[in-house]
Amino acid sequence: MSESISKLKQDFEAELASLVLTSKEDVDAIRVKYLGKKGLVTDLLKQMGGLSAEERPAYGKKVNELKEFVSEAIEKALLVAADAALQKKLASGFVDISLPENGISAGSTHPLYDVREEIIDFFAHMGFEVDFGRDIETDWYNFEALNTPPDHPSRDMQDTFYLADKVMLRTHTSGTQIHYMETHKPPFRMIAPGHVFRVDSDATHAPMFQQCEGLVVDENITFAQLKGVLQVFMDKLFGSGVKTRFRPSFFPFTEPSAEMDVSCVFCKGEGCRRCKGTGWMEIGGCGSVDPNVFINCGIDPERYTGFAFGFGLDRIAMLRHAIPEIGLLTGNDERFLSQF
């Protein structure tokens, strides 16, 4: 009996040693062969039943010793196999673990995205609904309904990307206001943020940029309320203390119309190179909604009045971060983006 135990031990050692490139599967196969339910060591234990009461203790002790020996050897072999697998993986993956790590760079939100989210958040808190509109508009929504006569310069082929006859990439987000007025009954207030497209490209103009327009329509809406809303908005964007001023201007869809300036965010109105010594910076346009626009949208201009305003998000982001060129915002240059 004890010969068969010693023999099995020798066989096991020889078999384990014969594995040159130990894999986990190879070791598992040996484990099953010796320690499994029908394994060789398990078999020896089963033979105890046929022994006399005197023989059993010594035999049982020896078989258990063998079982422990085999278990330990297999545990060790598994560790060796795991290490061999790791080495193989590292070699095939060409990972040089001796190289120093080069730092983990985390992304950040884009300055344009930040500005847009901030504006949406501000107006949403004031009860404005957000409508993103559509990038492609027809002549009616981009021009005609906005009281833009056929001979207006903004209709010129040089400014507009036409896709087909009377179909174009929107040149401003104002068309969203027409869609909105056609489908909503006053009173309402809404903003329309989105991309707009113009055939234009230099340091401060890009063929695609972002605008946000706002529209408020109700009975007894006044220009004074427009000024109030925009002053609070500029306080929010550039900090309280920023001054605003309104200069008479012309837009086809508002009457009266104004350009709004803010006191220069760089020199606080003292006059510097960036504001060309004036102390003021142009930020957007605004005005009272032209009655013709109301008529085009089926809103009674005798009963309702309203105001509208619009500004460029790129311009706001450029002013806030002193960005000299609009192209940097869409250039996707990591050296620029990592500064935010």
| Phi, psi for residue 297 in degrees, rounded to 5 | -105, 5
Q: Which is nearer to Zn ion, 63 or 275 (CB)?
A: 275
Binding of residue 78 to Zn ion (CB under 5 A): no
Those residues whose C-beta lies under 8 Å from the C-beta of residue 81, and which sit 6 or more positions away, are: 22, 23, 24, 26, 27
Kindly compute the dihedral angle of the four CA atoms of residues 93, 94, 95, 99, in this order, to the nearest 10 degrees.
180
DSSP 3-state of 97? coil
Q: Which is nearer to Zn ion, 84 or 267 (CB)?
A: 267
Binding of residue 265 to Zn ion (CB under 5 A): no
Distance of closest approach, residue 236 Cβ to Zn ion, in angstroms: 20
Binding of residue 272 to Zn ion (CB under 5 A): yes
Q: Which is nearer to Zn ion, 120 or 267 (CB)?
A: 267
Binding of residue 140 to Zn ion (CB under 5 A): no
Q: Which is nearer to Zn ion, 228 or 277 (CB)?
A: 277
Find the part of the chain contacting Zn ion (CB under 5 A) among 125-133, 188-196, 256-264, 323-331.
256-264
Binding of residue 299 to Zn ion (CB under 5 A): no
The amino acid at residue 90 is: L
Distance of closest approach, residue 280 Cβ to Zn ion, in angstroms: 8
| Phi, psi for residue 136 in degrees, rounded to 5 | -105, 125
One of 206, 264, 289, 313 touching Zn ion (CB under 5 A): 264
Sheet holding 167-169, edge to edge: 136-138, 167-169, 162-164
Residue nearest to Zn ion (CB): 264
**247 pairs with which residues across the strands?**
259
Find the part of the chain contacting Zn ion (CB under 5 A) among 19-27, 54-62, 260-268, 306-314.
260-268
One of 5, 78, 208, 267 touching Zn ion (CB under 5 A): 267
Among candidate residues 184, 173, 178, the one with its CA nearest the CA of residue 136: 173
Q: Which is nearer to Zn ion, 169 or 319 (CB)?
A: 319
Which residue pairs, CB below 8 angstroms and at least 24 apart, start in 81-84?
A: 81/22, 81/23, 81/24, 81/26, 81/27, 82/24, 84/21, 84/22, 84/23
Binding of residue 275 to Zn ion (CB under 5 A): yes
Instruction: State the residues that interact with Zn ion by CB under 5 A.
Output: 264, 266-267, 272, 275
